């Protein structure tokens, strides 16, 4: 007869077997944080390893950000030449000679990052409509 051990006590510490059906679940609490206030907004995200990406924020916290309908900006210039970097793209749009990746439905960036809100949805749509750069 096989006996199932539900718990074991050793030196006053109770050990229980690990259940196969218990998986770690991340639950979004809805608590407002600096990052979470950007949920639902079109943003440009800059991170160390993932570079410059554009998308709509689905989730964001201090561990990372999830973007939907995301594209990577390999080379970018703002439409307004008096502005610079990706912040200029967020404010004025992107020039036609910029290079972007194809669109992916979801991108998860798990590292330190910063977000810049895109001024309006027309700029985000303009970035989505640029022809993707061919891979060499």
CATH architecture for segment(s) 37-128: Roll (2.30)
Higher pLDDT residue, 114 or 7?
114
Percent of the chain with pLDDT over 90: 39
CA distance 47 to 43: 13
What is the CB-side half-sphere exposure of residue 2 using CA atoms within 13 A?
1
Q: Which residue has the tokens 């950000």?
A: 65
pLDDT digits (tens, 9 = 90+) for 7-64: 767 777 666 666 655 555 555 555 677 888 889 999 999 999 999 999 999 999 888 9
DSSP-assigned letters across all residues of 9-50: EETTEEE-PPPTT------------TTGGGTTSEEEEEETTT
Please give the helix or strand (H or E) that residue 108 lies within, else none: strand 104-109
Q: Note the pLDDT of residue 78.
A: 86
Q: Note the pLDDT of residue 52.
A: 92
């Amino acid at each position: 007869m096989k006996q199932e051990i539900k718990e074991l006590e050793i030196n006053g510490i109770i050990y229980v077997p690990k259940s196969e059906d218990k998986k770690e679940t991340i639950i979004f609490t809805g608590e407002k944080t600096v990052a979470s206030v950007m949920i639902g907004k079109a943003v440009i995200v800059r991170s160390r390893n993932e570079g410059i990406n554009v998308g709509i924020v689905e989730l964001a916290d201090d561990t990372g950000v999830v973007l939907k309908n995301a594209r990577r900006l390999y080379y970018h210039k703002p439409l307004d030449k008096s502005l610079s970097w990706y912040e200029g793209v967020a404010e004025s749009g992107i020039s036609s000679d910029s290079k972007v990746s194809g669109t992916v439905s979801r991108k998860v960036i798990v590292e330190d990052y910063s977000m810049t809100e895109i001024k309006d949805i027309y700029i985000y749509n303009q970035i989505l409509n640029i022809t993707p750069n061919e891979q060499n």
